[in-house]
Structures are given as structure tokens and as C-alpha cells.
Structure 1
Amino acid sequence: MSTQVRRRGCLTAMGLTLAGLSLAPVVNAQIAPTGSESAAYRGLHLAAARGDVPGLQRLLAAGADVNARDGHGRTPLHVATFARQHASLRALAQGGAELGALEKDRYDAVTIAAVADDEDTLRVLLALGASARQITSRYDGTALIAAAHLGHDGAVRQLILAGAPIDHVNNLHWTAVIESIVLGHGGARHQETLRALIQAGANLHIADSHGRTPLQLAQQRGFRTMERMLTQAGAR
């Protein structure tokens, strides 16, 4: 049986079999503004992308819609997040921007920063009051699951501290723990991601839709270090 998982930089086709897991990278899911879109921006979207705080403040004072949408449903806050414009983020938040707004693919700014491995921008967003608890993406996941998938261990630790739901199960029946195993390569950053989740008290017994536990998945993929970590933490 095959399940398709799409997130930043890859569409992973997962064939879960008794023999093992077959992974094949394909296309992008989280869509940053294209060059042509950026060139067409005006008003708040343009000022947000450029980090033009005086421009943002003038436009907001004149009544511009702080949550205006571009063709992909991105608000100025989304654009500022993609552009890593921290001053823009602060000005938009001060101007009443919806920090949890979702664009067309149901990504919020927190998930965008986590997927980009942009710890500085993530830190700014969380300090401004953006939530780590939102359900995002077509997979009904979270920023934590997305970060765990990619092995963005620093973002994972930030999101845990910010109260992300550690044991949330997405509509593929995967948790952050499971995604750190089945969608990674078993390397150092995915190991650190799993370590952070274990230390935070993640439930290590939630199985995938085929009944496979995280320990069984790590064994199946040949990730011996992850297998030891899970066994030492009491996983079965």
C-alpha cells in the first residue's frame, strides 16, 4: 500500500512493506512567493518582503488590510516569514496581523519557519504570540510534525517548549516520533529530533495505520541508533 507525503522540497512516496520502506523524493509542497509574484507585490506585501517598516506603518495607519491575501492566500505576515524579515513581522503583529493565518495549502507562519529550518524567525514568531499548537497542512499535522519529518531538531526543541502537541496524530496516522523515523535518513539531526521528543515525554507506543510502532519502524529501516534510543526509553 502506498501513501504520498508532500512537504518542503520533496514529495515522498512511501511503500510500507514487510521487507522495508521505499522512499522516492519528488516535488515541493510549501510554496514561497515566486520571482514573478514578488515583482508584482504592492502595498503591504511589498513592504513586508522588503522589511520596510516605515512603509508598513504608513500603510497600516492609512487603513490597509493587515491580513490582505495574495493569489496563493499569503498574508503580508507569510511573506515576511518567507523573506526572514523580522522587523516586518514585529510591525505587522503590532498592527494586528493574524499570527495564525493559513495560506491556501493550510500553512501558518510558524510551520513555514519550522520547515525552512529558520530558528531565528521561528523564535520571533513565538515571542510575538504565534501558536505552536495549530493544526496545519492538508495532512492535519502540526509545525512539530513537519519539523520532525525534516530533522530540524532546533525547531523541534523550540516548538516543544512552546507547547506544541507532542503526540498529535495526523491524517496519515503518523506522530512527530514516527515521522522522525520514517521520513528521515536516520542521521544525526533526526536522531537529535527523536531524542528531544523522547525527553519531552512523547508516547512511544502509538502505532502507524499498519500497526507498526516507532521501535518496529526504526528496526525495519535499519536505524540502529534510533532503535537503541527507543529501547532505552522503554519502547516496545
Structure 2
Amino acid sequence: MLTAAEDGDAAAVEKALDDGAGTGARDDRGRTPLLLAALGDHVEAARALVKAGADPDAQDDQDDSAWLVTGVTGSVRMARVLIPAEPDYTLTNRYGGTSLIPAGEHGHVAYVREVLRKTDMEVDHVNRLGWTALLEAVILGDGGRDHQQVVALLLEHGADPELADKEGVTPLEHAEQRGFDRVAALLRDAE
């Protein structure tokens, strides 16, 4: 089951399920078949696992889950498969962040749009670093078009442009320090 999910072999996943394999198997890193499928963006394998009742919130030894890794991969197709499984949108990764935070960091525009439209995920969740998705999009982003769009989406959905990091530095101050003029303009307009 684990190998089939990791390889994205949906037919082999379905056969393993038909033969009585459970969805809760774990590899030596604590990853479930659904997490392995999500990591590889193997949508059909994941679909079969979700249909069989796989847990989208089962976390591995690094606190990753199938749902949480969608924020890293930015896979809208995988998110759409997992949303009907009702993942816990408050579940956090090893940094204390929800899936929206790494999506902001990586500039996953389509994913951020989908999650903000289809879930009730808290847009201003603060991770252990003291950063929100908005702060990560500014601090760890490149200021380019994708990160500009992510910042705009987060602001449109209620992200607080004045919510500062642990040192009291606001997203606007970070954008100005990095020379991200367009991002800074978006943040100024939102204040």
C-alpha cells in the first residue's frame, strides 16, 4: 500500500484496499499512504484513499500531514481531493503553521485563492516564528508577481496588514526594507 501510494499507482492502491489493506499504515518516518500520495501529487491514488476513509490529518514524525503538505506543494488538485475529507484547518506543522503559511512563502497563488474561497482557515494564524501567511509572503518571498498576488489575496480575505512579527516589524516595513515597492503599495492601500 505504501509503495503504491508513493508511486502514484492508483490501481495498486485500490487493489491493496480490496485485499484488506488499511489506510493507516505507516512507513519508517510515520508517513501514511495518503501523505505519500499528497507529497507526490498523486491525485488519483489520494482520491482512492480518501474514498476509503484515509485520515487527511494523520501526521508523520515531522508533523506533516496530507493536508499540510498541500500548502508546500501548492497543489490545488490535491486540495480539492482532500477538502471533502474535512481536514482540520487548525492543524499545524513543525513550525506551528497552517497550510496557508508555506503557501504564502512559496507564492502559490492558485492554492491560496482556493483555500481562502473553500475553507474557513484563519488568515492571520501566527506560527512559532511569529509570522503569518502575509508576513511569510513578504519576508520569504521575492516581491515578484506571484507574491504580489498572494499578498493581495490575503488582504482581500481579511489579513491584518499591521500584524507585526515578534520584533514588532510590520509587513509594510519588511516590504520597504526589501525594496518590494508593489507589495508595499498593496499594504499601504490596505491600512
Q: TM-score, normalising length from structure 2?
A: 0.91
Map Cα deviations across residues 153-181 of structure 1 (whole Å, 9 max, x no partner).
Answer: 11111111222210100011101111110
Shift of 1:111: 2.4
Shift of 1:51: 4.0
**Residue 134 of structure 1: which of 52, 76, 90 is its match?**
90
**Residue 50 of structure 2: which of 93, 99, 102 is its match?**
93
Are positions 1:104 and 2:61 aligned together?
Answer: yes
Shift of 1:69: 0.5
In structure 2, what is the equivalent of residue 116 of structure 1? 73
In structure 2, what is the equivalent of residue 178 of structure 1? 135
**Residue 14 of structure 2: which of 57, 71, 77 is its match?**
57
Q: What letter matches 1:140 in structure 2?
A: G
Are positions 1:153 and 2:114 aligned together?
Answer: no
Are positions 1:83 and 2:40 aligned together?
Answer: yes
Percent identical pairs in the alignment equals: 37
* Contact kept? 1:100, 1:134, Cα under 8 Å: no
**Residue 169 of structure 2: which of 198, 212, 232 is its match?**
212
In structure 1, what is the equivalent of residue 27 of structure 2? 70
Q: What is the alpha-carbon distance in structure 2 between the residues aligned to residue 56 and residue 101 of structure 1?
A: 18
More strand as a share of residues:
1
Q: In angstroms, what is the RMSD of aligned CA positions?
A: 1.7
Map Cα deviations across residues 28-83 of structure 1 (whole Å, 9 max, x no partner).
Answer: xxxxxxxxxxxxxxxx1122234444433343344322111001111000111123
SS in 1 for 2:45: helix
Shift of 1:147: 0.2
Q: What is the alpha-carbon distance in structure 2 between the residues aligned to residue 49 and residue 156 of structure 1?
A: 25
Q: What is the alpha-carbon distance in structure 2 between the residues aligned to residue 57 and residue 223 of structure 1?
A: 48
CA 1:203/1:106 → structure 2, altered by over 3 Å: closer, same or farther? same
SS in 1 for 2:12: helix
Shift of 1:124: 2.0
SS in 1 for 2:168: coil
* Contact kept? 1:132, 1:143, Cα under 8 Å: no
User: Gapped runs of 5+ residues in structure 1?
Assistant: 1-43
Paired residues in the alignment total 190
Runs of 4+ in 1 over 6 A off after TM superposition: none
SS in 2 for 1:115: helix
User: Gapped runs of 5+ residues in structure 2?
Assistant: none
Shift of 1:233: 1.0
Q: What is the alpha-carbon distance in structure 1 between the residues aligned to residue 7 and residue 135 of structure 2?
A: 38
In structure 2, what is the equivalent of residue 196 of structure 1? 153
Q: What is the alpha-carbon distance in structure 1 between the residues aligned to residue 173 and residue 5 of structure 2?
A: 46
Q: What is the alpha-carbon distance in structure 2 between the residues aligned to residue 132 and residue 199 of structure 1?
A: 23
Q: What is the alpha-carbon distance in structure 2 between the residues aligned to residue 131 and residue 104 of structure 1?
A: 18
State which structure, 1 or 2, has the greater radius of gyration over its C-alpha atoms: 1
Map Cα deviations across residues 181-213 of structure 1 (whole Å, 9 max, x no partner).
Answer: 001111110000000001101111211111111
